[in-house]
Amino acid sequence: MVGVFSITEKKTLSLHRILLWALIAIYTLALPHAIFVYNAITKHFSASVAEKIPVYILILFGITYIAVGFIKEKHFRCIGFILPSAIIAYAIVSYEPNPNKHIHLPEYVLMTWILFAAISLDYRGKGMFILVFLCSSLLGIVDELQQGIHPYRHYGLWDMGLNSIASFIGILTLAGLEKKSAGDWNWISYINERNKLMALLIFGTVGATLTCKYLFTVAANKTFWASYPIWLMGWNSLYIILCPAMFLFHIRRLHASAPAPSDDGFSNQPDPRITVYLWINTLLSIFFAMHVLAVFTAISGWEFG
C-alpha cells in the first residue's frame, strides 16, 4: 500500500503543479482587466467607494495573514514582518494621488503568494524568495506590456515600480510565515552544466530590456514601425523560435538523466538540477511572453500606448 500511496501522492503533486502554474498564467492575463471592475464599482456606486476597495483588500489580507501566523504559532514573527509591510503600503496609498493605482498593491502581493506556492513545490536550496520576487516583478512588466496594447490602458514605468514594491511586500509577508529554505547554495554549481540555456537566458534578458525601452518610444510617438527598430523585431522573433525548442530539449535531458527512484517511487535524494531549471525556465518563460507581446503588437497593428 505504501507504493500505491506514494504514486497517488506523486500524481497529486503533479496536478497541484499544473493547476498553480495555470493559475499564474490566467491571473497574469486577467490583471489588465482589473480596471474594468474598478470602473464598474465607480459607475454603480461612487468613486469614493471604488478607491477604498484596494485598501479594504489589503486590510483583509493583513487580518488573514495574522490569523495564519497565530495558527502556525508564529504570531510574534509575523507581526514583526507585517509592520514594515503595512508602513510601505500606507506610504504608497498616502502619496500616490491616483486611487486606481492602489490596486497594484493587493494584485502583486497575491501574485507573490501564488508564485511561492508554485515554486516551493519543487525548489530545493537557498534563494527561493529571490526567485519569487524576480518572477513577480517581471510579470508586473508583462502586465504593463499587455496594458500597452489595451485601448483603455497605458504602459507605464511607475506602474512597474508599484508592482515591484507590492512584490517586495509579498516577500516580507512570506518571510514572516515560512521557515528558512532548507539546503544550501550548492545548486549554483550546476548552472555551469546549462551553458546553452544560460546563453539563451542572457539573449532573452537583453532583448526584453531593449524591447521595453523602445516600447516607451512607441508609446510616446503613437506609431510602431517608425519607432521600433527592425533588428530588434528580428531579435524578438529569433528568441520566440529558440526558446521552446531549447526548453523541450533540456526537459527531455532532465528526465533521461534523473536520479533513479527508490522503492516508493521517489528519487532517493533531491535533485539540485530541478532548482536550476526552476530559475532558468521560469525566467525564460516570462521573457518569452515579453517577446511574444512585442511581435503581436507589430503584427496586429494595434496602437501601443
Residue 265 scores a pLDDT above 70: no
pLDDT digits (tens, 9 = 90+) for 69-82: 888 877 788 888 99
Q: Specify if 4 maps to a domain.
A: no
**Residue 293 and residue 157 share a domain:** no
Residue that terminates a domain, selected from 182, 212, 239: 182
**Residue 302 and residue 196 share a domain:** yes
Q: Specify if 29 maps to a domain.
A: yes
Q: Specify if 144 maps to a domain.
A: yes
- Residues 39 and 118: their CA atoms lie apart, in Å, by 31
CA distances to 23, 128, 129, 284 from 293, rounded to whole Å, are 20, 27, 27, 14
**Residue 221 and residue 165 share a domain:** no
Residue 47 scores a pLDDT above 90: no
- Residues 148 and 145: their CA atoms lie apart, in Å, by 5
Residue 270 scores a pLDDT above 90: no
- 193 φ, ψ (degrees, to nearest 5): -80, -5
Short-list 48, 172, 167, CA closest to 107? 167
pTM summary value: 0.90
Average pLDDT over residues 174-199: 85
**Residue 154 and residue 199 share a domain:** no
- Residues 125 and 79: their CA atoms lie apart, in Å, by 26
Percent of the chain's residues with pLDDT above 70:
90
**Residue 303 and residue 206 share a domain:** yes
Residue 229 scores a pLDDT above 90: yes
Q: Which three three-digit cell numbers place residue 189? A: 554549481
**Residue 118 and residue 89 share a domain:** yes
- Residues 137 and 146: their CA atoms lie apart, in Å, by 14
**Residue 237 and residue 135 share a domain:** no
Measured between its terminal Cα atoms, the distance across the chain in Å is: 59
Q: Specify if 38 maps to a domain.
A: yes
253 pLDDT band, cuts 50/70/90, is low
Average pLDDT over residues 229-239: 97
Average pLDDT over residues 1-24: 77
How does DSSP classify residue 121?
T
**Residue 189 and residue 176 share a domain:** no
Q: Which residue has the higher pLDDT, 191 or 262?
A: 191
Residue 251 scores a pLDDT above 70: no
Q: What is the mean pLDDT of the chain?
A: 88
Q: How many domains does the chain have?
A: 2
Residue 250 scores a pLDDT above 90: no
Residue 269 scores a pLDDT above 90: no
**Residue 165 and residue 24 share a domain:** yes
Residue that terminates a domain, selected from 182, 208, 224: 182
6 pLDDT band, cuts 50/70/90, is low
**Residue 178 and residue 189 share a domain:** no
Q: Specify if 32 maps to a domain.
A: yes
Q: What pLDDT was estimated at residue 3?
A: 40
How does DSSP classify residue 266?
S
Q: Specify if 191 maps to a domain.
A: yes
Q: Please say whether the beta carbons of 163 and 137 come within 8 A.
A: yes
Q: Which residue has the higher pLDDT, 45 or 153?
A: 45
Average pLDDT over residues 232-239: 98
Q: Specify if 5 maps to a domain.
A: no
What is the number of alpha carbons within 13 Å of residue 92 lying toward its C-beta? Answer: 26
Count H helices, E strands: the chain?
10, 0
Domain span at residue 106?
11-182
Residue that terminates a domain, selected from 164, 182, 200: 182
